[in-house]
Amino acid sequence: MGVVNVRELTGKSNPLAEGHRMCPGCGAPTALRQAFMGMDSPVVVVGATGCLEVSTTVYPYSSWRAPFLHVAFENAGAAVSGVVAAHRAMSRKKLFREEIKFVAFGGDGGTYDIGFQSLSGALERGHDFTYICYNNQGYMNTGAQRSGATPRSANTTTSPAGILAPGKLQRAKNLTEIAAAHNIPYVAQTTLHDPLDLIRKVRRAVETPGPAFVNILVPCALFWKINPADQVKICRLAADSKFWPIYEVVNGERVVSYTPKKPVPVEDFLRAQGRYAHLFAGGGVRRDLIDQAQADVDAEWENLTQNRRSS
Amino acid sequence: MSGGAPCWQDILPGTVTLGESSRVVETGLWRSLRPILDVEKCVSCLKCWVQCPDMSIQTGEGGAVQGIDMFFCKGCGICAAVCPTGAISIRPESDFQDEADASSGGASPGKVGELVGQL
Ligand code: SF4
Ligand code: SF4
């Protein structure tokens, strides 16, 4: 796989170009930009509808240096399958000799929820592509509605924190484990705490023959209600509190790629974000929900280190 | 259409958007905070370069950090937050108001046709 040398990467052109209209301090362009840094072959990019798709293709501009295909919200998995199959057929007819990598991306809305069936089909059929989910845990493009990736207790516009409910009542589904349950060769989970980890994982994903899935937790400054400058700090808290375990599943084996030297309570991660402010507001600290979040995190970490499928 | 602004029906079908054409869009106009690089303090560790969401940290030969591209930088402050040597400081954009008034001849997101024509 080789060591990642950031200095050498500065000279390379990136498929994602300047002038995109993502919010200041958004984690999604950083995630995709870092993901592409690790790739050496030309790449074809397929995007599901979402923040990154709309903000990189504002008519009449494009922020893509690579061929880019967007069809709809629900079918990035199907669209990339078709592109991969077409490339194979054309290569067989010797119309193509170049090695090309295929990357599809979607936010959590386009991946966990709306695009899930087409992604599941693409993983099951075994096309040779990498799917990157930039997961900001909600439908942020349309104003922070809850998604299947929104964690318990987070305040969103469709799971508002108020008198009747303390934010979202359900746990987020564990899509990394669901992807791994397709028995694909490579699945990984990371965040922006360590660019070298992200770059290495995506490089490994694209170099692995067959489908690969990488789930990247990215802060949405606007709806996580954080200072945009704190993006990397929040990601480190996510990793150090084990709220977002940094690991990969290689041919079914779970390998933890980052064990925090100084683990922090998940409370520190929650407290740092305005979307959980109601848990700490007005003296009425919701100790029960904070303890619940910690118990969820501990149980998942236990499963992970025992190489058991998480719930 | 009955006068007024053109509608979607009036747009010609089959348009082509050129690759990386968003590079004419001055997202720096959004900035309310401005990062200032002190090259004396910078050790070119590239932590800011790799974490900038807007590819605005300019590098030269061997990855040496040379400056910050104010045309694209949105002033998020991530670069300053991750810099281990304190080489980047953040100042309110209002400190630079005179400069902005003097240089409004730059590209702006409104000048669509003109700018695409230059690509
Ligand atoms: S303030 Fe944000 S956009 Fe500007 S150079 Fe720093 S990290 Fe990049
Ligand atoms: S993080 Fe600081 S020291 Fe490192 S390259 Fe950027 S400005 Fe220079």
Axis-axis angle for helices A76-92, A116-125 (nearest 10) = 30
Question: What pLDDT is stored for residue A311 in this prediction?
Answer: 56
Whether the Cβ atoms of residue B65 and residue B42 lie closer than 8 Å to each other? yes
Asked if the model's pLDDT at residue B116 lies above 70, the reply is no
Question: What pLDDT is stored for residue A168 in this prediction?
Answer: 96
Question: What pLDDT is stored for residue B81 in this prediction?
Answer: 98
Max intra-chain CA distance, chain A:
70
Whether the Cβ atoms of residue A258 and residue A246 lie closer than 8 Å to each other? yes
Contact residues on chain A for B17, CB-CB shorter than 8 A: 57, 59-62
A19 touches chain B (CB under 8 A): yes
| Bridge-based pairing state of the strands A130-135 and A253-258 | unpaired
In a domain, A153, yes or no: yes
Distance (Å) from CA B113 to ligand 2 centroid? 37
CA distances to A11, A36, A69, A185, B54 from A14, rounded to whole Å, are 9, 6, 17, 26, 12
Total number of domains in chain A: 1
- Please tell me which residue of chain B has the smallest CA distance to A32: B53
In a domain, A112, yes or no: yes
In a domain, A1, yes or no: no
d(CA B22, CA B101): 24
Which chain A residues in 200-229 lie under 8 Å from chain B, judged by CB atoms?
221, 227-229
Question: What pLDDT is stored for residue B100 in this prediction?
Answer: 59
Axis-axis angle for helices A27-37, A195-207 (nearest 10) = 60
First to last CA, chain A: 31
> What domains can be seen in chain B, in order of their start residue?
25-118 (3.30.70.20)
Q: Is B76 in contact with A61 (Cβ distance < 8 A)?
A: no
| Bridge-based pairing state of the strands A101-107 and A186-191 | unpaired
- ∠ CA A263-A219-A277 to the nearest 5 degrees? 75
Interval B28-46: pLDDT, tens: 999 999 999 999 999 999 9
Decide if the complex's ipTM is over 0.90: yes
Q: Which domain holds residue A114?
A: 6-310
For atom 6 of ligand 2, which residue has the closest CA? B48
d(CA A165, CA A299): 24
What are B's interface residues with A at a Cβ cutoff of 8 A?
15, 17-27, 30-31, 46, 49-56, 59, 62-63, 69, 72, 74-78, 80-82, 90, 112, 116
- Picking from A8, A20, A69, A233 by the largest number of B CB atoms within 10 A of its own CB, the best residue to mutate is A20
Which CATH number do you get for residue A260? 3.40.50.970
In a domain, A95, yes or no: yes
Question: What pLDDT is stored for residue B111 in this prediction?
Answer: 41
Contact residues on chain A for B19, CB-CB shorter than 8 A: 17, 62, 64-66
d(CA B66, CA B53): 18
Q: Is the pTM of this model over 0.90?
A: yes
Amino acid at A173: K
The beta-strand segments (E) located in chain B are 33-37, 57-59, 65-68, 88-92
d(CA A66, CA A45): 7
For A181-198, b/e burial (b = at least 16 CB within 10 A) is ebebebbbbbbbbbbebb
Interval A98-151: pLDDT, tens: 889 999 999 999 999 999 999 999 999 999 999 999 999 999 999 999 999 999
Ordered mean pLDDT values, 10 residues apiece, chain A (311 residues): 83 95 97 94 96 94 95 96 96 90 97 97 98 97 95 96 92 96 98 97 97 98 96 98 98 95 97 96 85 96 84 56
Question: What pLDDT is stored for residue A2 in this prediction?
Answer: 65
